Amino acid sequence: MKRSYSKYSAKDDLIWLILRPWIFIPRVLYILLTFIFLFLRILFQGNSKNKNVQKNLSKYLFNVITDLGPCFIKLGQALSTRPDLVRQDWLTELTNLQDNLPAFDHKIALKIIEEELGAPANELFDEFPESPIASASLGQVYKAKINNTYLAVKVQRPNLYFLIRRDVVILRFLGTFLSPFLPLNIGVGIGEIIDEFGKALFEEIDYQKEAENALRFAILFKENPNIFIPKLEKQFSSKRIITTSWIDGVKLRDRAVLEENNLIPASFIKTCVISGLQQLFEFGYFHADPHPGNMFALKGGNADCGNLAYVDFGMMDTITNSDRLTLIKAIVHIINEEYYLLAEDFQKLGFLTKEQDLQKLVDPLKEVLGGSLDAEVGNFNLKNVTDKFSKLMYSYPFRVPSRFALIIRAVVSQEGLALRLDPEFKILKIAYPYIAKKLLTDNSEEILDILLEVVFDKKGQIQIEKVQSLLNILFKDSENINSDLIPVANAGLKLFISKKGSEVRKNLLLSLIKDEKLEFTDAKKLLALIRDTFSPLNFAKSAVQNIISTV
């Protein structure tokens, strides 16, 4: 019998569970007692220097999370991506939450396959193994074979809809009840955050929805030679089964394993982060669960950008065009250290109320984000920013809009993944040049408006320092010069002579007039900046690099 799942509804699901007190009360008590015992054990043993004690404690933590079920495993997976938050010996154990969980009974998996696909596995496939090759929070994966081609067959865990429905309701109940006593100040009801989590989980257990997500994601990256999306096998997919082509790669879990396979960790970090930025700032559609179990390093690529495969498209989300453009503006304002405008961005995104006096936030924001391009860039990562913002939120009325819950999860998980491969990784070293290049090469109306804000002030005068800052970010090292110089020069020239460039040409002419007189000082500075950046020597370097990269 095939199942049909309802969408998440906080109110309806709460009523459903309250009407079943024989389920609700014992489960709440079990969860509370489990966490009390876990807290006490961590309190007494967490600081022990005995390796055996820590090893046993990490295994206990893993067993507690797996025993509590899929909802808690999802939360544990988020922790497993953060080497800066979790002890290394615990992290090793928590990494197993990604795809090395206890498997459910193989006979049940075979029964689900027959129910969903209408025939036994041994009739559908030429070869079907007797055990899964990986087991995750919501399902387990088998490596099957048909027509000399290997396939990944993911079978959903039994009774999953009931388990998630029950535990999301209880998490919301406990979160709402306990939030006044917890050391949190996120400015919005924790129930709203759990609602977003619940909606995402309910979509994730619908494998037909995941199949649609995989197809959409593949279309978005079809022109990117460094990103690979497995092919969906529709005839072997259903509500509780999803089958794709098999990915023969190395999980982005351990730097040493990558190096053993002659793969360069840094190249995959760059591909991973750039593809994540593309999802947020170009596509407006992103993978919300980018942990190491869902990403594979593939052969090929080069030392700069490695080939990367995404799998598991159950937890996806979108970002509105308005939010996407405001986030780009916010990063530009951080680059230019324009903290009042940054406060306006936060207000527009919903992190601040419309009544908030933004001028009062200029100094606090400068304290949190100031110097991110200079001396402090070596220490700048999301963990540092999060720590500082946590303190800031107690003094100022910041709130976290619930629609940003999965965005924050995705970005933080991705940075955590990068930190596993390179503890010295700094996300801004990739994010800032990406935004700078987008501003200088994307000729869409929205991005052009943002670029004009950078180049010209409100009076129409050229802001030489900001233009120089933008170019410095993109071309501050020879590697970027070699790869980006010609595309930026081409895009700039095309823009200047196009219809869209009329606003740029007009502003440039107006900038020459000061006090009703022609003033060429700023124009000369701009020409000197362009001449130095796009010098023949730099063009030669770029051409050579492009030739080398195509060989």
Report, as residue numbers or ranges, the catalytic residues: 289
Q: How far apart are CA 154 and CA 145, in angstroms?
A: 13
What would the DSSP string read from start to end of 108-167? HHHHHHHHHHSS-HHHH-SB--SS-SEE-SSEEEEEEEETTEEEEEEEEPTTHHHHHHHH
Provide the b/e sequence for 161-193 (b: ≥16 CB within 10 Å): bebbbbbbbbbbbbbeeeeeeeeebbebebbbb
Q: How do the residues of the chain divide into helix, strand and coil, expressed in percent and rounded to 5?
A: 60, 10, 30
Which residue is associated with the tokens 């700078």?
A: 436
Handedness of CA 197, 202, 208, 209 (dihedral sign): negative
Handedness of CA 331, 334, 338, 344 (dihedral sign): positive
Contact 88, 55 (CB under 8 A): no
Q: How far apart are CA 386 and CA 361, in angstroms?
A: 17
Torsion of CA 483, 488, 493, 495, to 10 degrees: 140
Handedness of CA 404, 405, 406, 410 (dihedral sign): positive
**Backbone angle region of 20, left / alpha / beta, with phi > 0 → left and psi within -120 to 50 → alpha:** beta
What would the DSSP string read from start to end of 336-396? TT-HHHHHHHHHHHTSS-TT--GGGGHHHHHHHHTTTTTGGGGG--HHHHHHHHHHHHHHS
Contact 507, 456 (CB under 8 A): yes
Closest CA to 351 of 343, 359, 361: 343
* Six token digits for residue 309: 């495969």
Q: How far apart are CA 403 and CA 410, in angstroms?
A: 12
Handedness of CA 229, 231, 236, 237 (dihedral sign): positive
What is the separation of C-alpha 267 from the centre of its chain, rounded to a whole number of angstroms? Answer: 18
Which residue is associated with the tokens 């963990």?
A: 383
Closest CA to 393 of 185, 189, 179: 185
What's the DSSP call for residue 280? I
